[in-house]
């Protein structure tokens, strides 16, 4: 059990086979509960998000310290009553992770708003071999909602790509992290 960002991360069923061999294998179940997104997004400078986050990484398998299988889901917890806001920069970064394309708010009247309310957010990835099958919090026209907005002005982030090469997804995440400057130590 690790306490982080005002929430908890629990590792279970941890198994390590042949740690000094040619192909060490690690497997685990990981449960994330109640992370404070404001604290998390202050630490990893990716844009401001408020609210809470739950997640599960089921059946994680690493071979040679690289993932080959897992079923991961991260989303707004049911019943969460904390204020939920998301900045333009965070919207842009989530758009890049979900589709590989950013800059969604650079044009139009939405660029005049600093942040937006959201109803729920989430992203899932089921990795099998080299391919990650992506999903969000709800079906959307021709895709899935990564962020489902609420109120006015309303902003939705929709992912359209269902299958992504693991390497491409990692590169998208790395680009977002590098442009944000990495973790901020205070």
**DSSP states of 24-81:** -EEEEEEEEEEEEHHHHHHHBTS--B-SEEEEEEEEEEEETTEEEEEEEEEEPPTT--
Angle, alpha carbons 134-120-144 (nearest 5°): 30
How far is Cα 79 from Cα 23, in angstroms, rounded to an integer?
43
Q: How confident is the model at residue 111 (pLDDT cuts 50, 70, 90)?
A: low
- Is the pLDDT assigned to residue 180 strictly greater than 60? no
Instruction: Give the mean pLDDT of 54-80.
Output: 95
- Is the pLDDT assigned to residue 171 strictly greater than 70? yes
* Maximum Cα–Cα distance across the chain: 57
Backbone angles phi, psi at 162, to 5 degrees: -85, -40
Q: How confident is the model at residue 178 (pLDDT cuts 50, 70, 90)?
A: low
Q: What is the mean pLDDT of the chain?
A: 85
- Is the pLDDT assigned to residue 85 strictly greater than 60? yes
The CA-to-CA distance between both ends of the chain, in Å, stands at: 23
Residue 153 preceded by cis peptide, ω within 30: yes
The answer to which of 26-40, 109-123, 144-158 has the lowest mean pLDDT is 109-123
How far is Cα 177 from Cα 44, in angstroms, rounded to an integer?
7
pLDDT at residue number 44: 80
Instruction: Give the mean pLDDT of 116-123.
Output: 93
CB within 8 A of 29, min separation 6: which ones? 11, 12, 13, 56, 57, 58, 59, 60
- Is the pLDDT assigned to residue 65 strictly greater than 80? yes
pLDDT at residue number 105: 46
pTM: 0.84
Tokens of 111: 């660029």
Instruction: Give the mean pLDDT of 111-136.
Output: 89
């Amino acid at each position: 059990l690790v306490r982080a960002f005002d929430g908890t991360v629990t590792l279970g069923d941890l198994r390590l086979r042949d740690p000094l061999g040619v192909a060490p294998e690690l497997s685990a179940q990981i449960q994330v509960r109640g992370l404070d997104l404001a604290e998390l997004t202050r630490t990893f400078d990716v844009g401001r998000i408020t609210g809470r986050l739950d997640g599960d990484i089921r059946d994680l398998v690493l071979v040679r310290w690289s993932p080959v299988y897992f079923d991961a889901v991260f989303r707004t917890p049911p019943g969460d009553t904390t204020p939920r806001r998301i900045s333009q920069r965070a919207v842009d970064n989530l758009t890049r992770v979900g589709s590989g394309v950013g800059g969604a708010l650079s044009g139009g009247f939405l660029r005049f708003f600093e942040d937006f309310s959201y109803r729920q957010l989430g992203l899932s990835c089921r990795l099998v071999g080299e391919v990650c099958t992506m999903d969000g919090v709800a079906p959307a026209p021709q895709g899935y909602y990564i962020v489902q907005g609420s109120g006015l002005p309303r902003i939705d982030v929709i992912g359209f790509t269902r299958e992504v090469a693991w390497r491409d997804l990692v590169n998208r995440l790395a680009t977002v992290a590098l442009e944000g400057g990495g973790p901020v130590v205070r």
